[in-house]
Amino acid sequence: MATPRVCVLRAPGTNCDPETAHAFELCGAQAERVHLLRVLENPGLLADFQVLCIPGGFSYGDDIGAGVIFSSHLRGQLADAIGEFLTADKLCLGICNGFQVLLKSGILPGGAEGLATHEEAGRDATLTWNDNGQYTSLWVRLATLNPNNVFLRGIDDFEVPIAHAEGRLVVKDPAILETWKANGQIAVCYRPVDGDVSSDPQQWLTTEIGYPDNPNGAFANIAGLSDPTGRVLGLMPHPERFIHATQHPEWTRRKLRGEGAGLKLFRNAVEYFG
């Protein structure tokens, strides 16, 4: 298997880069934590990597909104380099703050085309304050809506933790849901923790789910989006925080052993280049 190189792109305030890099390395990748300033000085650095990951944290302190400053660099000075990366046969992952960055830069849900045409961050959709107005940290259950996304292959249903204050997906026009469904751009959605595993996951887009199953009040219970190619994924929950079974709060009660469910996303990315 080829050893893909992963750029874990961090900025001032990012704080989940070590564990994110570790998750990729456990799956056989060569992960490097790269400061945004290095890439701004030399955008050509991105060409050396096969995977770009923007991890969680609070880039630039979320001072003027979560991911706003970081995203301005991607669609500004780095637009050409990021556009070339996205049009190549490469992968891009945004987790929590990283999802906020990808969405507000236009990379999600439109991919390279969205980056090129995104005149204003959050034009069709954005991530804003949770319904409860508070930073919220708990475990959620997700259903996969786009199994063709590279990161989600072979994953139907999984549990992961969330930890955010601005994770509620809102849209300008609810009709966008049909476009996203047609293009396979809805990646994962929140579902009841105690719901029937065999049920059709599409139902959770139209079923009203309250707190804590939908922890932030997201539109259509959406927790993550994909680009049309299936090579870009952004999600609010943290898969890098469930790479070992013992990280689950009920691991002893459920007698969990081995890997955590989140590790599969990183392994899928590495195996894509195998």
Q: Known catalytic residues?
A: 96, 238, 240
Q: Pick the closest to residue 147 from 12, 265, 241 (CA basis).
A: 265
Q: Which residues contact 48 (CB under 8 A, 6 or more apart)?
A: 5, 7
Q: Per the structure block, which two tokens stand in for 259?
A: 């890997």
Kindly give the pairing relationship between strand 168-171 and strand 125-128: antiparallel
Q: How far apart are CA 232 and CA 226, in angstroms?
A: 6
Q: How far apart are CA 101 and CA 59, in angstroms?
A: 9
Cβ–Cβ under 8 Å, residues 153 and 233? no
Q: Which residues contact 234 (CB under 8 A, 6 or more apart)?
A: 93, 94, 95, 98, 99, 102, 103, 107, 108, 187, 224, 225
Q: Pick the closest to residue 15 from 95, 134, 115, 72 (CA basis).
A: 95
Which residue is it, tokens 């780095």?
Answer: 78
Residues in the chain: 274
Q: How far apart are CA 235 and CA 89, in angstroms?
A: 21
Q: Per the structure block, which two tokens stand in for 85?
A: 């990366």
Q: Per the structure block, which two tokens stand in for 113?
A: 């085309």
Q: How far apart are CA 114 and CA 167, in angstroms?
A: 21
